[in-house]
Amino acid sequence: MTENQKDIVWHHATVTRTRREALNKHKAVNLWFTGLSGSGKSTIAHAVEEHLHMMGCRTFVFDGDNVRHGLCSDLGFSMEDRSENIRRIGEMANLFLQAGVIALTAFISPLEKDRQKIRDVVGGDHFLEIYCACPLAICEQRDVKGLYKKARAGLIKNYTGISSPYETPEYPDLRLESGSESLEECVEKVISLLRDKGIISSLTP
């Protein structure tokens, strides 16, 4: 706690997370999609959100590129800035959970310690780590932005999978073989996980 935080007191609202979840008819959770660039994180997250939205769930997707246009526009791609980027997203996702929303976050988040910090912030029962496992060769084939090509040529520094490490989750809540499984298969596995965890009702269409 910093000196400036000593006089700050958390205000407890009368409309609680439990009441919001009851109104939404589902629990709040953070679906944390992690994996290399090109592994399908954002594509799967948005497809899952579309599915949940059609089921009547309250959702929001935090996409890696999108948040760097605003919330994290002051950050670069050093390991320190990447950790701060993830910290901010975790805190924001936690606020969305308090609002009773299913928060889907699609970030490379290469370091295990950073992902663990988010789990600690939102609470282990409300954090589901989804690892999009995709071979680097396939990620490079999907390189529509040409970023891997630039990284290979040394034009981009600290690029995950090329010049910067990615620490594979040892015990993710769900592992998607996003290099070989179809988008539909990946979405169905995520929805099944949410049903199994009691986040959404087994009776929800």
The answer as to whether 110 is a domain residue is no
- The per-residue pLDDT for 124 is 84
| Among the listed residues 189, 23, 191, 156, the one whose alpha carbon sits nearest the alpha carbon of residue 77 | 156
- The per-residue pLDDT for 3 is 57
Distance (Å, whole) CA 121 – CA 115 = 10
The answer as to whether 88 is a domain residue is yes
Question: What tens digit of pLDDT does each residue of 30-81 get?
Answer: 999 999 999 999 999 999 999 999 999 999 998 766 666 666 777 777 778 8
End-to-end alpha carbon distance in the chain: 45
The answer as to whether 10 is a domain residue is no
The answer as to whether 94 is a domain residue is yes
Specify whether 109 is catalytic. yes
37, 39, 42, 109: the active-site residue? 109
Higher pLDDT, 205 or 135: 135
Higher pLDDT, 2 or 87: 87
The answer as to whether 20 is a domain residue is no
The answer as to whether 46 is a domain residue is yes
Q: pLDDT at residue 1 above 60?
A: no
Give the CATH number of the domain where residue 175 resides: 3.40.50.300
Question: What tens digit of pLDDT does each residue of 112-164 get?
Answer: 999 999 999 898 889 999 999 999 999 999 988 899 999 999 998 889 999 88
In the chain, how many domains are there?
1
Distance (Å, whole) CA 127 – CA 121 = 9
Count CB atoms within 10 A of the CB of residue 80.
10
Distance (Å, whole) CA 130 – CA 151 = 26
The answer as to whether 11 is a domain residue is no
The DSSP secondary structure of 117-151, one letter per residue, reads HHHHHH-GGGEEEEEE---HHHHHHT-TT-HHHHH
Handedness of CA 10, 119, 129, 72 (dihedral sign): positive
Domain extent, residue 192, equals 26-101+115-123+131-196
The answer as to whether 184 is a domain residue is yes
